[in-house]
Amino acid sequence: EWQYDTWALAEASGGHALSVMGFYLMQREGLVAAFRIQPVKLARLLRALEDGYPADNPYHNATHAADVLRTLSVLLRGARLTAHYAHGLGLLASYFAAIIHDHGHPGLTGDFLVATSHPLALRYNDRSPLESHHAASAFTLLAERPDLDAFAELPKEQRTAFRKQVVDMVLATDMKQHFSLLTQFTALHKARKASLEPAPSPQDDAERSLTLQIALKAADIGHLAAALPVHCRWLGVLEEEFFRQGDKEKALGIPISPLFDRAKQGVSKSQVGFFDFVALPL
């Protein structure tokens, strides 16, 4: 179930992999019926969110979001987290977080935004400018377009909990928080005794939230475990996106970020280190 080619889905759906995958999973899991979501409104919302991903981004585009969404759904089921960690409202929020986790991505790194005093860096005071923007732009769409708000029927308490979980999960995808979050997660689970429960249960809301944050982070780099041709395609477009930023840095006369220089080796040559220090510990 892990192996999947989201590129093929994008081609088969005419470039609408994210909206197709999002609608399918929410319908399959019974979320549409459980939360009285109007199917047509949900479909329109998903298309609008899909349109919020710049199509000219080689990597951070709607197809990537669809891939992360699908990978997250497999992780949650495979790790038996849908029983007590991500069920009902928690599952709805988890899926929505994956759908919007790179919404409105400019195709540039957070460090570049800060170094160039980009409007997003100024708006968010240099703190997780990308991730803050992804969450804010998606919820702004819901606020400004009531006709697209598929979650309008949620009671206020559920709406508040939904928003908090989504924002927490999206902000956790900032790689600057990676090692801190992973250290917390590892320490927490080392302190817990092995459980023989059919499905694990969270100790408290904080542990539940941290676990779902880690799940989304793992899904965000899930293509590392894809079939080699699929992974290589993702790696190729990521490298191109990085090279484009390197071109901008060169034009601006600022230091070119490591692995972003077209004249040198790119991220395709650094995969062993990324596997060892980032992917495998997750």
3-state helix, strand, coil in the chain (%, to 5): 65, 0, 35
Task: Please report which helix (H) or strand (E) contains residue 138, including its range.
Answer: helix 129-144
The string over 212-249, giving b where at least 16 C-beta atoms fall within 10 Å of a residue's C-beta and e elsewhere, is bbbbbbbbbbbbbebeeebeeebbebbbebbbbbbebb
- State CA 246 to chain mean position distance: 24
Are the C-beta atoms of residues 248 and 62 closer than 8 Å to each other?
Answer: no
Q: Which residues fall within 8 angstroms of residue 109, CB to CB, at 6 or more apart?
A: 130, 245, 257
Q: CA–CA separation, 92 vs 86, rounded Å? A: 8
Distance of alpha carbon 195 from alpha carbon 85, whole angstroms: 15
What residues are annotated to the active site?
60
First CA to last CA across the chain, in angstroms?
19
Contact 211, 202 (CB under 8 A): yes
